[in-house]
Each structure stands twice: as C-alpha cells, then as structure tokens.
Structure 1
Amino acid sequence: MEGLSSFHNLQALSALLSTQGDDDEDDCKNMKSSALMSPGDIHAPPSVANKTGTTAYAKADSKAIWCEEEVIEGSQFDDLTDTRPQPEYDIVLKQSVGTEDIFLGMSGKDPSSMCCDSMLVKIKMPGTKASDVVLDVKDKFLDLRTPNYKLGLHLPHPVHSQEGKAHFYSERQELEVTLPMNRLMDQINLQ
C-alpha cells in the first residue's frame, strides 16, 4: 500500500503546489472578469439602488420617519417636560412558605425567584403625604405620581394588577405595593 511518502505522490504534490509565472498569467487571461474582482468592486447591483443613490439596506420603507428599533421601550409613559425627580425604590420578590416548607421541604419550593409568588415594591418619598399619591398599576408597568415625584417602573415579571395591595407608612414616608405575580405555568410550578 502506497502512502504519501511514495516518490510518485510527492512529485505530483510538488507539481500542484509549484508556482510558475507563465502558467499564472495564462490562467488569469482565461478567468472570467468576476473572478478578478477586488474588495473595492463590491457594491449593490444597479437594480437594488434607487433614484437617490442609496441602497435598499438603508430603509425598508422610504416614507418612514423612524424605525421601531429607534424607539425606546416604555417611552409612551415618559413626559420629557416633567422635571420631577424619580424616588428611590426597591423591588423584593416574596414567597409564601409554611413550616412544612422550612423544616421538611415538602412542597418542593426553593429560594430561587421561580418559586416566588408576589413582588413587593418599596418606594421612598420624603415629604409626601398619602393623599398626594396617585398610583396606576398595569400588568407590566407601575406608574406613580405625586406633587414632588414621578416614577414609571417597568416590572420584571407580569403581575395581577387588580389584585395588588398598597400601604403608605407615614412615619417612614414610604409606599409599599404588593403585587401577586402572573407567570406562565405558575399553577404547575407552585402546586
């Protein structure tokens, strides 16, 4: 059995890899013009370019003022003329556990956020009274307005907006909003 080490195979390989100037020139003459292109020759075909000279890659719709990627998520809730500051807030995920969970681990709950069943949003608003607070909760967005503060908060998980509870602590000047989480497969995961 002959391998690469045979004399005949090495000669054939040498002939393939050898560079001869006159053979290369003949090969170039016989090549198509598209094979002789350089990177500077790359451009859009004439059928793709429009009358203004821009290519189809610039905009899909020539009448569009902006594309969807340019619009910031949640910008419909922003009011740029409103200069009220955003209050400090903290989001805490909570889960209901009993003694069988803590000592025996019977329900299969663990400390991960997947086993949490509600979300607590703590909002600190110094100098605010409970009567000044206007709160609107959607499935994925919390909107809070007071004379001194404004908060538009995108929630990390969808919630049951109608089942939430809010409590204002006057001594701490802090609002606590408890929202039950609404995630897919919760009935299966939390059983």
Structure 2
Amino acid sequence: MEDLGVSSDQQLLALSSLLSTQPEDDEDDEDCTQGGSRAGLGPGHIGPPARRDGAVPSVREKKNDKDIWSQEEVAEGSQHDDLADPRPQPEYDVLLKQSVGTEDLFLGLNRKDPSSMSCEAMLVRIKLPDTEAADVVLDVRERFLDLRTPRYKLGLHLPHPTHGHGGRAQFFGERGELEVTLLFNRPTDDVHNLL
C-alpha cells in the first residue's frame, strides 16, 4: 500500500513539473519528498506556483501594453450612467411586435414567421408607480432609451436599431405604466418590402 502512495506522490510531482511554466524552488521539492509528504501535496501544487508577493495573477492579462484600461474596468454604456444619482431603475419589459393579417395567418402570402426577423416594432413597458405623466422625461436614440423621473432613472440599450421618427409613447396613469413603441430600422427591411 505504501509503495502506491509513493508512486502517486512521484506522479503528482512529475505532473506539477510538466504543467509549471516557471522553475520551482528546491525548497518546495525537498518538502514534498520528505516522509509524510502526502499531506503536503494537494491540488494547489499543480501548475505554476503562486506569486510570493501575495498578488493574485489576473485571469485575463492586458494584450497591449499601451492600453489604458482593460475590458473589465470599463462598463458598457457607462457614459450614460451617473454614479452619484441614487434613483433606482424601474421594472421594464421589452416585447417584439409583428403586424399579422389574414393573408399571413391563413395563406402565408407575406412570408412572415414567428422569428424576430419578421417583427416590425419593439414595445418597451416601464412600470412607474406613483409617477405623473408630466414628470417623465424621455429621450430615444437609435440604440438607447433614456428615461428620467423624480423617483426613477432608466438607461436601456436597445437590442435592435430603431427609427428616430414614427415611435409612440403612451402613459397609463391608472396602472402607473409607460408604453414606448419603437419601429425597427434594419437594412434588410427595404429588401423584405420589395418581395
């Protein structure tokens, strides 16, 4: 039984030396080859040794030395965020809309299917309890929706580009909900209209 333990310790050391990219210290090798070394070896001994200065090596190192920030340091859409603003984000839903007639439903003449490529518009439902319609400030860009009220703020990156015109916003005071309908602006829309 003891011979199997020694050979497995030797195999673990051999595997560690194969996976290690830096030369190991002789002190670590001496500690592991001493009697009772089975308790000293574990999964942490496989691979390159940890840094002695206590710094944890990052999983994703910078690829270019001239980069100022790494990808993890810059959040997407951070130019629209105001970190000093304590207002919470309201609940919202994004739904895709499709206008379907009898020719689509029964005959399939317009070649529409249930996929998102056949949708013409997007409906964004935003729940704004205890809010008046006059308090809502809404700014819609091609790919971004910015909503501000005295109690809430929402900066929403849209999944598809939208037209700057032809959209519609409607506030329902009894439900405390704002519905924003935006028409898609896709380069393939003109091709689909010709068919």
Could you state the TM-score of these two structures normalised by the residue count of structure 1? Answer: 0.66
TM-aligned CA distance change 1:85 to 1:106, over 3 Å: same
Does the CA contact (< 8 Å) of 1:115 and 1:189 recur in 2? no
Taking the aligned partners of 1:66 and 1:118, their CA distance within structure 2 comes to: 37
Task: Letter of the 2:116 partner, please give it.
Answer: S
Q: Are 1:173 and 2:176 counterparts?
A: yes
Q: How far apart in 1 are the matches of 2:21 and 2:105? A: 67
Provide runs of 4+ in structure 1 moved above 6 Å: none
Residue 107 of structure 1, aligned match among 77, 88, 110: 110
Residues 94 and 116 in structure 1, CA contact (< 8 A), matched pair in contact too: yes
Counterpart of 1:81 in structure 2 is 84
1:164 Cα deviation after fit:
1.1
Structure 2, unaligned stretches of length 5 or more? 1-19, 24-60
SS of residue in 2 equivalent to 1:143:
strand
CA shift digits 1:13-37 (9 cap, x unpaired): xxxxxxxxxxxxxxxxxxxxxxxxx
- Partner residue in 1 for 2:126: 123
Shift of 1:97: 1.4
Change over 3 Å in CA distance of 1:104–1:146 after alignment to 2: same
The CA deviation at 1:73 is 1.1
Q: Which structure would you say has the larger Rg?
A: 1
SS at the partner of 2:117?
A: helix
- Write out aligned runs for 1:47-66 (5 A): 60-62=64-66, 65-66=68-69
Shift in CA distance, 176/59, structure 1 to aligned 2, threshold 3 Å: same
**Unaligned regions of 5+ residues in structure 1, if any?**
1-37, 42-56
**Which of 135, 158, 161 does residue 158 from structure 1 map onto?**
161
SS at match of 1:131: helix
Q: How far 1:129 moved relative to its partner?
A: 0.4
The offset of 1:40, in angstroms, is 3.6
Identity %, equivalent residues: 64
Residue of 131, 142, 148 corresponding to 1:139: 142
